[in-house]
């Protein structure tokens, strides 16, 4: 496998597509995932085993997870909110799981219908299942900078949830700017607070790009030692329960940024750009 100075986690098939109103064919999702694996992405969040009533676009999670093109060195993960999701994801072949909570009580409730503490309690059986299956679990902390309902979030709140997820046994925490309105200075303060609770090697940056600041925020986190960053091909996406949030940081921009500063990503930018154009066209055709 290519030598990588940074790990790029592709969340497009999940975070990028989950907010699309028109159902996207499972075959298109699988074709996208195949193109991403082909381009050299080694970690791909393929789908979400969440309630189809809450996120209809992810209702084909089982078929997607079972259909991903197996390829040496590529790990496909699934987002899960609870034990039911974890059981189904593992049965479908997920080799990594991701749980998600928030640093904001209001967002946690809107997104998963429970408090932060209740969400953590729901993750306990998920961790037990994952441990038995020998798969790692990432923990997302949404609203690490801003909440659509509560406004600015204190870095200490992010640090507290980070500590809870690490204590639970998560191997990686994705500090997530759900709204994409963060600035480098606020990113720095938030990451510094999280670093008091866990090492840089266990922290990842997940930035949406509503204000066009995501690359600057990645840079702020990189300066503090983070080496894992999320992107969604084509800059697609947003969270259905975060009104006002635009797309994710485009993986193409993330890759171009790191390659430009001499950090190897192991990803073929031209193949990735082709995948981005392809899904953009498919989404426009699907929406018609
Ligand atoms: P609830 O309604 O409180 O739960 O939802 P429930 O236990 O009463 O279940 C309701 C129904 O869902 C039942 O079905 C369950 O069986 C079913 P019914 O009897 O009505 O037919 N159900 C499930 N189905 C499939 N898979 C499951 C599952 N669990 C229950 N795992 C729940 C609670 C957590 C399930 C719901 O709120 C939910 O699914 N929320 C997901 C919301 C979501 O996916 N948001 C987007 C992803 S997070 C995100 O984008 C942020 C992130 O990118 C980081 C960032 O940028 O901030 C990660
Ligand atoms: Mg997200």
CATH number for the domain spanning 90: value is: 3.20.20.70
- Measuring from atom 33 of ligand 1, which residue has the nearest CA? 112
Within a domain: 56: yes
Task: Report yes or no for ipTM above 0.85.
Answer: yes
Higher per-residue pLDDT: 240 or 16: 16
Classify residue 74: in a domain, yes or no.
yes
**Residue 240: inside a domain:** yes
Residues ≥6 apart with Cβ < 8 Å to 63: 26
Has residue 44 been placed in a domain? yes
Which of 29-38, 121-130, 199-208, 231-240 is the least confident region?
Answer: 231-240
Locate 256 and state its tokens: 């171009």
**Residue owning the nearest CA to atom 17 of ligand 1:** 51
Q: Residue 60: its pLDDT value, please?
A: 98
pLDDT exceeds 60 at position 1: no
Ligand nearest to the CA of 45: 1
d(CA 253, ligand 1 centre) in Å? 31
Distance 175 CA to ligand 2 centre (A): 10
Residues with CB under 6 A from ligand 1: 15, 18, 48-51, 53-55, 81-82, 84-85, 100, 111-113, 140, 142, 176, 178, 206, 208, 239-241
Ligand nearest to the CA of 109: 1
Q: Which tens digits make up the pLDDT trace of 57-76? A: 999 999 999 999 999 999 99
In angstroms, the CA 103 to CA 232 distance is 22
**pLDDT at residue 18 above 80?**
yes
Give the per-residue pLDDT at 240. 76
Residue 2: the pLDDT is 54
**pTM of the complete model:** 0.97
114 is catalytic: no
DSSP string, 14-82: IIITTT-SSPPPHHHHHHHHHHHHHHT-SEEEEEE-S-TTT-GGGTTHHHHHHHS---TT-EEEEE-SS
Distance between Cα 218 and ligand 2 center (Å): 14
Answer whether residue 278 is part of any domain.
Answer: yes
Q: What is the rounded CA–CA span in Å between residue 177 and residue 142?
A: 7
Nearest ligand 1 atom, CA 100: 58
User: Which residue range is the domain that position 142 belongs to?
Assistant: 7-287
Report how many domains make up the chain: 1
CA of 182 to the centre of ligand 1 (A): 27
Taking the CA of 173 as reference, the closest ligand is: 1
Query: Which residues on adjacent β-strands are paired with residue 206?
Result: 176
Atom of ligand 1 nearest to the CA of 80: 31
Pocket test for ligand 1, best of 46, 50, 90 (most atoms within 8 A of CB): 50
Which ligand 1 atom is at minimum distance from the Cα of 143?
57
1: in domain: no
**Chain segment 26-49, per-residue pLDDT in tens:** 999 999 999 999 999 999 999 999
d(C-alpha 280, C-alpha 236), whole Å:
8
Asked if residue 2 belongs to a domain, the reply is no
């Amino acid at each position: 496998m290519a030598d990588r100075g940074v790990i790029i986690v592709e969340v497009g098939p999940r975070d990028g597509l989950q907010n699309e109103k028109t159902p996207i064919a499972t075959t298109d999702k699988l074709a996208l995932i195949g193109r991403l694996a082909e381009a050299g992405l080694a970690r791909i969040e393929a789908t979400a085993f969440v309630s189809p009533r809450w996120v209809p676009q992810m209702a084909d999670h089982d078929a997607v997870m079972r259909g991903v093109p197996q390829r040496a060195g590529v790990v496909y993960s699934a987002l899960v909110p609870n034990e039911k999701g974890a059981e189904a994801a593992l049965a479908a072949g997920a080799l990594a799981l991701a749980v998600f909570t928030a640093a904001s009580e209001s967002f946690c409730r809107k997104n998963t219908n429970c408090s932060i503490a209740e969400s953590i309690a729901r993750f306990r059986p998920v961790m037990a299942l994952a441990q038995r299956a020998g798969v790692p679990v990432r923990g997302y902390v949404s609203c690490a900078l801003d909440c659509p309902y509560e406004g600015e979030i204190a870095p200490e709140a992010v640090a507290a949830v980070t500590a809870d997820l690490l204590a639970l046994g998560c191997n990686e925490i994705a500090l997530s700017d759900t709204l994409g309105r963060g600035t480098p200075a606020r990113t720095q303060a938030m990451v510094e607070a999280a670093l008091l609770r866990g090492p840089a090697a266990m922290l990842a940056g997940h930035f949406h790009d509503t204000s066009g600041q995501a690359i600057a925020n990645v840079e702020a986190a990189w300066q503090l030692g983070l080496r894992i960053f999320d992107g969604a091909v084509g800059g697609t996406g947003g969270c259905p329960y975060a009104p006002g949030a635009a797309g994710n940081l485009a993986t193409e921009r993330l890759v171009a940024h790191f390659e430009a500063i001499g950090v190897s990503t192991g990803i073929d930018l031209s193949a990735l750009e082709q995948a981005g154009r392809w899904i953009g066209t498919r989404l426009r055709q699907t929406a018609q």
